[in-house]
Amino acid sequence: MLGRRQIREKILQSLYAYNVGGSELEYVKKRMFQSIEEIYDLYIYELNLLLAVKDYALEVIERKRQKRFATDEEKNPNLKFVENKVFRLLENNKARKEYSDKHLELSWHLNNNYPTMIFKQFQLSRSYSEYMQSNESDFEEDKRIVLKLFLKYIADNDIMYEWFEELKLSWADDIHIANNMTLKTIKSLREENPFDTLIQVLKSDEGIAFAEDLFKATVRHYPDSLKLIEARSNNWELDRIAEIDKIILAMGFTELNHFPQVPAKVVINECIELAKVYSSSKSNIFINGILDKYARDINKV
């Protein structure tokens, strides 16, 4: 699920596109929610990739079994990895299956070289070797090996990052969110519990309303926010302040003035974190100083 910080990131990206790109407001807002929905696509795509790796491993086993002069080991292979209980739960998950059936582009059958590459690399790892040789056979061990597979060979794989970015540009900004969703899904699995649902990107109408309200309010009050920035920026002219910093400050002023349910410290901290990710190295100090002083002026701290 997207937390408020990730929602603010999407709002910031959309406000920047609106201010700099000159697109229509409704189009930008629609694109913002579309990019949020696309995070779920990437999440499903990653779950499907794990299963595609398992399918390739099974395909290798079957090819060796059918060799004319197969060895005893090839005729009676070690099936521990392909029969991993975590894969079975993911495979049988109703939400994943139904969504994948409706979105065939999230299947890996057309890009089998990536699951192949991942399994070949993983197969050479010490983790895989120890897992296959271990006499243990419990669910927690199955979970650990799938987590290692995902973390090192998918989440921390530059080749996969480039592939995801090539497919959808918005995924480049949101891979970390999808990775966290996939990790939470694997970690939450219990052998004895039914597993029919998946993590939703926006958990409730509250998240959708917050995203829309803050986006619209920041645009509506942007002229007033610019005046506040100019009055508090120690004689810096507005055109000397980076556009991304002005937008972050405008979001902060908007929340402080029009979202009383959000504590001022939360608003300021969230704006500082946005500046650390999206702006220059000193912007977070600049933004912190202005918002903290303003919050004190209006008795919010």
pLDDT in tens, 6-32: 889 999 999 998 988 777 899 999 999
pTM (predicted TM-score) = 0.82
SS3 92: helix
State the SS3 of 17-59. HHHHHCCCHHHHHHHHHHHHHHHHHHHHHHHHHHHHHHHHHHH
- Is the pLDDT at 116 greater than 90? The verdict is yes
Q: What is the pLDDT of residue 204?
A: 62
Q: Is 241 helix (H, G, I), strand (E, B) or coil?
A: coil
**pLDDT tier at 1, thresholds 50, 70, 90:** low
Instruction: Report the interhelical angle of 126-133 vs 139-150 (nearest 10°).
Output: 160
Domain boundaries, the chain: 4-188, 221-297
pLDDT tens track for 234-275: 766 777 889 999 999 999 999 999 999 999 999 999 999 999
Mean pLDDT of 79-104: 95
What is the predicted pLDDT for the residue at 24? 87
Per the model's pLDDT, the better-predicted residue between 110 and 131 turns out to be 131
Residue 117: predicted pLDDT: 96
Burial class (CB in 10 A: 0-12, 13-18, 19+), 199: middle
Residue 37 reports pLDDT greater than 90? no
Give residue 119's identity as a one-letter amino acid code.
Answer: F
Tens-digit pLDDT profile for residues 170-222: 898 889 889 999 999 999 999 888 888 888 877 667 788 899 999 999 999 99
pLDDT of 136 > 90? The answer is no
Radius of gyration of the chain (CA): 24
pLDDT at 12: 94
Residues of the chain above pLDDT 90, percent: 69
9 CB-near residues (< 8 Å, 6+ apart): 173, 274, 277, 278
pLDDT on residue 217: 96
CATH fold group of domain 221-297: N-utilizing Substance Protein B Homolog; Chain A (1.10.940)
pLDDT value for 281: 84
Mean pLDDT, rounded, of the chain: 91
> Please, are residues 182 and 150 in contact by the beta-carbon 8 Å criterion?
yes
64-96 burial: b if 16+ Cβ within 10 Å, else e: eeeeeeeeeeeeebeebbbebbbbbbbeebeeb
Q: What long-range pairs does 135-144 form, CB within 8 A, spacing at least 24? A: 137/80, 139/85, 139/86, 139/189, 139/190, 139/191, 142/84, 142/85, 142/86, 143/86, 143/186, 143/187, 143/189
